Chains A and B, each alone.
Chain A
Amino acid sequence: MRDVIIIGAGGGGPVVAKELAERGLNVLVLEAGARHAKPEQEWSALENHMNSSLTGKLRFGPADPAKPAWFRELTTPGSFSQVAGVGGTTLHYYGNSPRAMPGVFADYRGRDRGMYDHRHKFPFGYDEMRRYYEWTEATLPVQTAAMGTKEQAFFQAAEAAGLSPITGKDITHAGFRPQENAILQPGGTAGRTSDPSQLNYPNATGCTLCGHCFQGCMLPKGAPRNLKARRSTDNSYTPMALTADLWKPGGKAITLVSDAYVTRILSDRQWGRRMQRATGVEWRDVNTGEVHSEDARVVVMAGGCIENPRLWMNSDLPDPNGWVGRGLTDHALDWVTGIFDHDVGGARGTSCSSRADFPGYGAIQNTANTPGVQANNLTNSDSGIRGTYTNGLGGQGAWDGEAGRLYGTELKEMMSDINRQMSILVLTDADVEYQNKVDVSRVFNDDHGPVARVSIDKRRRSRRTQRNRDYLATRAAEILRAAGARKIVRNDWAPVLLHLQSSMRMGDSARNSVLDENCEARAVQGLFIADNSALPNSLGGPNPTLSTQALATRTAEKIFQHYFGGDAWVGHESPICSIDDAVTQAVLSRGL
C-alpha cells in the first residue's frame, strides 16, 4: 500500500509529489501520457511536429504517435490546448507566473471588492496564500523576465497609453510590468548570440531567447534537465521528486509511471461526515492494455480541469450538490493584433514576457508567435470573417473595423511580416458559472470509458465576464494605438481552452463547491485535488499555474498534517530551489 497516489504529472501533480517525497512519504505518480525523458533526442523546434493537437509530440494523447489523440467532446464552438505526458500542459506553457488578484480572496476589503466574482472566493485569505506563493516562487524559481525587442516595444506602448509600472509581486493597482516568469534569466552567451556553436551549456545558461516556448523548452543544449530554462514541471518539480532521497535527508524518491491511464478511483462506502473513502486507483497501461490497481491512504487527483470530472463520474463517486465538473472558467480569451511599419519583435524571444494587469477586469499580455500558430490565432473567431459576415457579433471599438477572423488577402497581408506584428492576449476575469461544465459524453467512448464532454458557451457568459473581456480588448487596442500600430484587429475568439480553472472548485460553501477549504473532497474522505480544477475561481484573470502550485503546496501540507501526523513546513523551513547544486548533482547521478 502506498501512502499517496497522485493521478497526473502536469502543472499540479508533481508539486504534491515533490513536497511529500521531501517529507519521506511513499508516493506513486501515474501519468497517462509520455515520459518525455530525452527532449533533445525526441523533440524539435517545429510547431506542427511539436504542437499539432492531433499528431504532435505535445498533444493530449498517448506516447505512441501511431495511435490517435484522446478525444474530448465539445458541445459548443471552441478548441482545446491541453497536453498529456510528464509536464502536462506546462510543456506548452509560457512560464508566466503572476500571483492572483488579492480581490478574489476571502479577506479582501479593498474599495473595489464589488468588482470581483464575490460569490466564489478563495475560502481563506491572501496573506495565508502569500506564504505559499513565496515558497513556490523560490522553488521553481520565478524570476523577472528579460527584455527583448517585443518587450521594449510593449513597455513603450504601455507608457505612451498612460499606464504606470507595477514593481512588486502583488497586484496592487492597474499597470504594466515585465512578467514574473518561471524562466531562468539568460546567462553567459544566452540572449547574446544566435550562433549555435556558442550556445551549449555551460557557456549559455538560462533562456537563450530561442522563440520556441510553445514547442517545449529543451534549452540550453546539454544542460542537466533541472537547468533547462523554462520551469515546466518536467524540468522543475518532477526531477526533484524523482531524486528527493538524494538532496533531502529523510526524503524518498517517488515512483513515476508514465503511459498509465487511471480509469477508476476505488472507494468504500462509509458512515460519517463523508459519504465514501478513497482506497486506491485502477489504471490501464496505455501500451499493453493491462489493468493494474494499487491501494493508498490518500489519493490526489491532478488530471486537470477536463479529466478530473470525467474520472470522478466514471468512478461513480458521489456528487451530492451537483457541482462536480461545474463552474469551469477559461479566462474568456481574446486576441488583439496590431500591425506596425517597423520591427516590434513579433516572433522573437520567449513566448510572453510582458503584461498589464487591471484589477477587477483581468490582464493582457504581449505574446510572440511562430507563423503557423499566429495564422491559426488570426483565423479563430466567433464573429465570422471580417468584411463579410459577423455571426451576429462583430463588435466595433478601439480596434479597426468589426471584430472577426482575418481571411484571404487580409490574412496574407497581415502575415506578410511576422516581426511587425504585436499580438496581445486577453485574460478575462471570468465568473464561475454553473452552466459552464465538464461531464461525460453519451456518444464517444475510448479505452478509458466515456470521454469528457465540455460545454462553455461564449454567448451565454455573465454580463460581468463579457464586460471585462470588452474592457480588456479596448485597453489592448489603446496600447497598440499608442505604440503607433497602422492597423489593429480584434478577433473575438471562440473559446480556446488553455487556461482552465475551477471545474472541481474549492469553496467556503458546501452548496457550490466540490472541495472543502483543504482541497479534500467534501463527499470522499482521503481524496484530494491539486491542480487547476481545485481553484475556486478564475483568479481575477492572472495565469493560473503559480496559484495552482502554491495551493498544491498547501494541500500537500494538509495531507501530511491530517493523514500522516506531520507538521507544516511552509513558513518554518527554507525551500530548496529546483536549480540548487544539490538537485543538479542528484539529477545527474540518477541519469535523468
Chain B
Amino acid sequence: MSETKPTNSPISSGRRQLLIGSGVLGAAAALNPGMAFAHWGRGKGRGKGRGRWGRDNPQENAPPVEWTVEQLRTALDQLRNDTFFAMIAFGVPGNDPYSEHQGVSTPYPGGITTRADLYLSGGTDLLVPVPAGFMNQLLASIATYLAVKPMDIPEMASEDVGENGEYLLENLNSSFTDYLEGEVSNSVLVALLINLAATRVAGSVDGPFPSPFANLSWEQKAKVFEELESEHSWLKRAITWNIPDRDYREATPGVLSSMVAFMLRIAGFGSYCEFAVFNPQTREVVQRPLGWVLSQYAPDAPPSGIGSDDFIGYYQGRRSV
C-alpha cells in the first residue's frame, strides 16, 4: 500500500491533538462514518481500546477521503449542538439522554426540553464580534502549545494512526484550515474549546455522543469548567501561547472569560425564560413556558399579567417621609 499512499502535508503533533481532543475528528466521523471510517473508527466492545480512535477495521484499497469545507461545517455544527445539549443538561438537568448519561437527571423535563441549547448557540454567536483571523490565530496557538505540552491521549501515538488514517487526518486538517479562514461561528469555537478541556480533564472520552464533553459525568463536567474558569487555566495559557498579534494576545483571556461565563449563566437563563414559546407577532407566549412551570411562575399566564392584587398598604402606615 505504501507506494499508493496519497501524500499530504504532514500534520504536527499539536495540531493532531487539537483535531482529536476538540472533537473535530469524532464529529467528522460521526457525520459520515462511511468516509471517515475507511481506516478510522471508534473501537467497539468493552475493555481496553473501547471508544478509542485508531485503526480499527483496516480496509485495504479504501478510497482517499476528501473533506469539503461544507461537510466539515455541517459536522462541526452538529458537534456544537451535541456539546450544547450536554451543557444545558449540566446546568438544568431533566429526563433526557444527556442528563441520564451524565448521571444527574430528574424525572421531569429540564433545560433541553425548552431548547435552551438554541438560545445558547445563537447567543454565543452574537456575544463577541470576533475579528476575522482571530480564531485561526487562537487555534494555531493551542496547537503549538499542545506540541510542547501534549495531552495524555494514548491514541496520539503514531503507531495508532494507520496509513490512510494519517491521510484522513491530514486531509481533515487542511479542510479545517480552510474552514477557519472562512466564517466561523463563536459557538463552534466555544464547543471546540469545551471539548478540548473535556479531553484534557478526562483523557480519551468514551460514550455514546460525538462530543467528548457530552460523554462526561456531571462531576467531570464541573472539572472542565473549573479548568476553563481558573485564573491560571492551561487553556488560557494555551490560547495566548503563540498568538503573534500582541493586541489579540492581550484580548484573548477576556474574550474567553466572557464566553465561558455566558455559557454558565445562559444555561440557566435560557432554560427559564420564554424564548422557546415566544410569538414576535403578538409579543406574547403561545403557551406557558416550561421554565415558568418548573418555577411555578405566573400560573395563569398567558397572557402576561398587567397587575396584581398584592398591595397590602404602607409600612407602619407611612405614605411619605
Contact = CB atoms under 8 A, between A and B. Distances in A.
A442 B251 CA distance: 8
B123 interface: yes
A408 B93 contact: yes
B129 A71 contact: yes
Contact of A196 (B126, B280, B294, B305): B305
Contacts of B93: 408-409, 412
Interface stretch (B27-35, B62-70, B78-86, B269-277): B269-277
B2 interface: no
Contact of A46 (B91, B247, B278): B278
B291 A371 contact: yes
Interface string A178-222: 101000011001111110100100001000111110000001110
Interface stretch (B149-157, B172-180, B306-314): B306-314
A188 B316 CA distance: 21
B251 A73 contact: yes
Interface string A58-93: 000000000011010111111100000000000000
Given A167-B321, A212-B304, A389-B226, A372 B106 contact: no
Given A412-B294, A416-B294, A391 B312 contact: no
B222 interface: yes
Contact of B315 (A147, A212, A442): A147
B92 A411 contact: yes
Given A199-B306, A408-B218, A443-B131, A147 B314 contact: yes
B86 to A, nearest CB: 12
A10 interface: no
Contact of B307 (A152, A178, A204): A204
B133 to A, nearest CB: 11
A444 B134 CA distance: 11
B231 interface: yes
B273 A418 contact: no
B296 interface: yes
Given A146-B311, A167-B318, A392 B104 contact: no
Contacts of B291: 371-372, 375
Given A77-B257, A180-B321, A71 B269 contact: no
Interface stretch (B162-170, B204-212, B259-267): B259-267
B126 A54 contact: yes
A570 interface: no
A191 B311 contact: yes
B106 A412 contact: yes
B11 interface: no
Contacts of A155: 315
A79 B307 contact: no
B222 to A, nearest CB: 4
Contacts of A191: 307-311
A365 interface: no
Chain B CB count within 10 A is highest, among A149, A349, A419, A443, for: A443
Contacts of B292: 371
B311 A186 contact: yes
Contact of B316 (A49, A165, A186, A212): A165
A148 interface: yes
Contacts of A168: 321
Nearest to A199: B307
Contacts of A169: 321
A155 B313 CA distance: 13
Contact of A54 (B127, B219, B261): B127
A441 interface: yes
A151 B269 CA distance: 25
A540 interface: no
Chain A CB count within 10 A is highest, among B231, B255, B278, B309, for: B309
B176 to A, nearest CB: 24
Q: How large is the interface on A (under 10, 10 to 19, 20 to 34, 35 or more residues)?
A: 35 or more
Interface string B33-73: 00000000000000000000000000000000000000000
A443 B247 contact: yes
B309 A375 contact: no
Given A76-B257, A348-B308, A373-B269, A418 B315 contact: no
B103 to A, nearest CB: 10
A231 B127 CA distance: 31
Nearest to B250: A442
A417 interface: yes
B251 A376 contact: no
A45 interface: yes
A185 B319 contact: yes
B272 A415 contact: yes
Contacts of B223: 388-389
Contacts of A295: none
Nearest to A353: B315
Nearest to B275: A48
B314 A209 contact: no
B114 to A, nearest CB: 10
A280 interface: no
B307 A219 contact: yes
Interface stretch (A244-252, A378-386, A578-586): A378-386
Contacts of A186: 311
A149 B308 CA distance: 11
Contacts of A69: 126
A559 interface: no
A526 to B, nearest CB: 34
Contacts of A371: 272-273, 291-292, 294-295, 297
A370 B278 contact: no
Given A54-B127, A186-B311, A375-B271, A416 B295 contact: yes
A77 B231 CA distance: 10
Chain A CB count within 10 A is highest, among B106, B229, B268, B275, for: B268
Nearest to A392: B231
Contacts of A444: 129, 131, 251
B92 to A, nearest CB: 6
A143 interface: yes
Nearest to B298: A347
B98 interface: no
B257 to A, nearest CB: 4
A375 B269 contact: yes
B93 to A, nearest CB: 6
Interface string A378-406: 11100011001101100000000000010
Given A68-B126, A194-B308, A379-B268, A143 B316 contact: no
A177 interface: yes
B274 A380 contact: no
Given A199-B306, A380-B265, A177 B315 contact: yes
A143 B319 CA distance: 8
Contacts of B294: 371, 412, 415-416
A148 B312 contact: yes
Contacts of B255: 73
Given A168-B321, A191-B307, 7 more contacts: A144-B314, A149-B312, A165-B315, A372-B272, A375-B272, A376-B269, A418-B297
Minimum-distance CB pairs A-B, first 4: A191-B311, A372-B273, A208-B307, A375-B268
14 contacts: A46-B284, A46-B304, A47-B274, A48-B119, A144-B320, A191-B307, A210-B307, A210-B308, A372-B291, A385-B222, A389-B229, A418-B295, A418-B297, A419-B297
Interface of B: 90-93, 104, 106, 110, 119, 123, 126-129, 131, 134, 218-219, 222-223, 225-226, 229-231, 247-248, 250-251, 253-255, 257-258, 261-262, 264-275, 278, 280, 283-285, 291-292, 294-298, 300, 303-316, 318-321
